[in-house]
Amino acid sequence: MAIVVERKKLGFFERLYLPQIISGLWITLKNIFRPRVTLEYPDQAPVLPVGYRGAPTLVKDSEGREKCVSCQLCEFVCPSKAITVTPGEIPADSQYAFIEKAPAEFKIDMLRCIYCGLCEEACPERAIVLQNNFSINGASRAELIYNKTKLYAEGGVLPDKIMKWKRVKDNAELEGGSH
């Protein structure tokens, strides 16, 4: 059974649509004299809010050495599976042989990344950091798969208290054994 809905009868001015036209013009006149809010990107950069999560990058320590120990926690915690880490060995004759691994390959597919920040939270060495870079573009899909070299170039240097290159393990063992 169909329900019939009766429409309200329009008055004379409502049929002319003058109130609607005048209210539209009034809104236009009010907004003409307001300051502009449009930014001329890329000449004017937007102000990013505190806690903005941009593109993930790899960072080096204050002496320019890579901080990543290839633990693969970032790869395991990534919900979109955008990160691929291939662990590599540090040569036994190196002065840093006490460090177990370093990444042979590190790739982040920026097309798959959802910028959630879980990789940054999972990293024990603070080697992966979300930067304020929001303008990620490329001419092909291959350009948006960042390798280790490009990630370090984007990330730069981040000095902090975590220093995997110092022999903290040996010093702790000596102090623990002397008691």
pLDDT per residue, tens digit, the chain (179 aa), is: 789 999 888 888 778 888 889 999 999 999 998 888 888 888 888 888 888 888 999 998 887 888 888 999 999 999 999 999 999 988 888 777 777 788 999 999 999 999 999 999 999 988 999 988 878 889 999 999 999 999 999 888 877 765 565 665 554 554 554 44
Q: Which pLDDT score, from 0 to 100, does residue 108 have? A: 96
What angle is formed at CA 78 by the lines to CA 76 and CA 66, rounded to 5 degrees? 75
Are 119 and 128 spatial neighbours (Cβ–Cβ below 8 Å)?
yes
Give the separation between CA 71 and CA 64, rounded to whole angstroms: 20
What does the pLDDT read at residue 1? 79
Does residue 75 sit in helix, strand or coil?
helix
The full set of domains in the chain, from first to last, is: 66-170 (3.30.70.3270)
Q: Which two tokens stand for residue 90?
A: 């540090």
